[in-house]
Amino acid sequence: MRSQGTVLSINTGESVEAPWAGRRGRTAIDKKSVGDSAFVGPYGIESDEQATDFHGGLLQALYAYAREDLDWWAEQLGRPLRNGLFGENLDLEGFDVSNAALAEQWQVGDAVVEVSAPRIACGTFGGWMGEKGWAKRFNGTKRPGAYLRVLRAGVVRTGDPVRVTWEPETRIPLSAVADGILGDHGILQQVVDLAEENPHWDVSAVLPPWRSTTFKPRPKTRTGPSN
């Protein structure tokens, strides 16, 4: 399993109107620090608002990103990037978020979360960043960050350790899953097989029901966390 990391920043946002914010015309992508601690429930951090049809809900209650990846982007863009700028709820340090495996579970402070999907950049993200061709550029870097489902609610504090508590037998990193969502059917077949092996994990965060019917699972031994 990967090494232990640390919670660097806990961020929330308010829903506001924006002309570049898709069909709803509202976004809560501008996340800012809420201080040293926050309660995380099934729908994410208390007081955090979710303003889109495509992000949020139980399967995408939190979005986590590595501070090291933000620093990499800062070098690429030639400007500083503050915590929360990518719309992330959790900035993590010393933890390779984008190499996390689908369905793996983390202990984050008092909370337990499950990796549900990678982030695929949308038009709202592009409008917020103000960078030409941002969605294609972001999606092509294999630094997607992680959407998380909350398995156990609890308080998360800055400085809390982040550690992997369980991994599936078949390991599919988020960086590869992003390629699958963008058109690599071989990866998507692996994702469907993973869901068959681990029925506690909900595949619909990656593949909506109308799309998952395209693939049939290849039988394997089912596995799952002991608790």
Rounded to whole angstroms, the Cα distance separating 75 from 163 reads 28
pLDDT digits (tens, 9 = 90+) for 132-145: 999 999 999 999 99
Low-confidence ranges of the chain (pLDDT < 70): 1-2, 52-54, 209-224, 226-227
pTM for the predicted model, two decimal places: 0.91
What domains can you pick out in the chain, each with its CATH number?
5-171 (2.40.33.20)
C-alpha distance from residue 111 to each of 50, 108, 203, 225 (Å):
20, 5, 22, 16
The whole-number pLDDT of residue 155 equals 98
> 127-179 pLDDT, tens per residue?
999 999 999 999 999 999 999 999 999 999 999 999 999 999 999 999 999 99
CA 91 to chain centre: 11
Given a contact cutoff of 8 angstroms between Cβ atoms, the answer to whether 45 and 53 are in contact is no
Closest CA to 96 of 15, 222, 221, 4: 4
Radius of gyration of the chain (CA): 17
Residue 54, pLDDT score: 62
